[in-house]
Structure 1
Amino acid sequence: MRPLKLTVLAFALGLFILASPTAPAPVPTSVTAEALAHQIEARMLGDFTAENLRVEAVPFDDQSYTQQGRVQWIMFTADSLPQQPITIRDVFVKALDVTLDLDKLFTPAKDVVTVSLGRSIVGARITEEDLNTMVGPGSAFAEQSGMENLKMELTPGQIKISGNYRPLFGSEIELTGTLEVEERRRVNFLPLGAKLNGMPLPKAILKAVLKRLNPLIDFDTVPLGPTVEEVTILEDEVRVVG
Structure 2
Amino acid sequence: MVDVPYDETGRLTLGDVPEGTVALIVQQPNGLGIIEDLSGLKERLGDVFLIVSVYPVALGVLEPPGSFGADIVVGEGQPLGNPLSFGGPLLGIFATRRKYLRMMPGRVSGRTVDAEGKEGYVMTLQTREQHIRRERATSNICTNSALCALRATIYLAALGAEGLREVALLSLKKAHDLAEAIAGIPGYELAFSGPFFNEFVVKCPDPAGVVKRLYREGIAVGLPEYVVRMGVEGAFSVAVTEKRTEEELQRLVEVLRG
For the criterion TM > 0.5, the same-fold answer is: no
When the two structures are superposed, what TM-score results if normalisation uses the length of structure 2?
0.21
Structure with the greater relative contact order (CA < 8 A, sep ≥ 6): 1 or 2? 2
More helix per residue: 2
Structure showing greater Rg: 1
Q: Which protein has the bigger strand share?
A: 1
Q: What TM-score results when the alignment is normalised by the length of structure 1?
A: 0.22
